[in-house]
Amino acid sequence: MDFILNYFEWVNFDREPVLRDYALIDAYTRKEGKSLQKNDLWIAASAQSIGARILTTDRDFDFIHGLFVRRELIDLTVPPAGSP
């Protein structure tokens, strides 16, 4: 468990880059007339602030993909490679 927890970078929400990116992404989504749930907005801002990629099984980040974040969509209808 320690290996997994230490493998990932921890992001503090109270850092200026996260707060700045939160405000930028929130303003953009409002201007475009689209909505992003607040938890998804925090995820996007955190990822943007450190240049991380978002792995997701839903399409909530599609309209900001490439603009603010890089998102990889995991299609649960496709079996993983090597599975029977």
CATH number at residue 45: 3.40.50.1010
Find out whether 63 and 34 touch, Cβ atoms under 8 Å: yes
Give the chain's domain count: 1
Domain range for residue 57?
Answer: 2-73
In a domain, 84, yes or no: no
In a domain, 23, yes or no: yes
Per residue in 57-71, pLDDT (tens digit) is: 999 999 999 999 999
In a domain, 82, yes or no: no
In a domain, 81, yes or no: no
pLDDT at position 46 is 95
Per residue in 12-22, pLDDT (tens digit) is: 888 899 999 99
> Could you tell me the end-to-end alpha-carbon distance of the chain, in angstroms, rounded to an integer?
29
Find out whether 56 and 73 touch, Cβ atoms under 8 Å: yes
Find out whether 9 and 44 touch, Cβ atoms under 8 Å: no
Looking at the chain, which runs of residues are DSSP E strands?
A: 53-56, 70-73
- For residue 77, is pLDDT > 90? no
In a domain, 57, yes or no: yes
15: its two tokens:
């850092």
